[in-house]
Amino acid sequence: MDNQATPIEMLFEKAEDYTRTTVELAKLNVIDKSADVLSSLLSRLIVVIVVAMVALLINIGLSIWIGDLLGKTYYGYFAVAGTYFILAIIINSFKDQWIKVPMSNLIISKMLKKG
């Protein structure tokens, strides 16, 4: 007796291969998009860290300079801290508009990017 596959068995085998390939392709697409989003966010984070370090050193110098102008060094630190406190209140008021929405849009555009 011949052991030939019937057309239905061949169809099932092809459908199984197609499903396996589709699942594998979906996994690879998820990995690609995740890597793209994470690498983009990581590169931005590194830039932010470097800018923060530069800003820290500039703020220390600015605090000392303002303190010299006001007569006591610690007055300069209070002045810079007060400025940042006001800036923090402003940023907190607009955080959704300035931070949350742009970051959400960035992640979504990276996830939906073709090729």
Tens of pLDDT, residue by residue over 67-80, are 999 999 999 999 99
Please give the C-alpha separations between residue 104 and each of 11, 32, 40, 96, 110, in angstroms, as whole numbers: 43, 18, 13, 10, 10
Share of the chain above pLDDT 90, in %: 58
Name the region of 71 (left: φ>0; alpha: ψ -120 to 50; beta: rest).
left
pTM of structure: 0.62
What are the residue boundaries of the structural domains of the chain, listed by start? 7-112
Render pLDDT for 20-49 as a digit per residue (tens, 0 to 9): 999 999 999 889 888 888 898 899 999 999
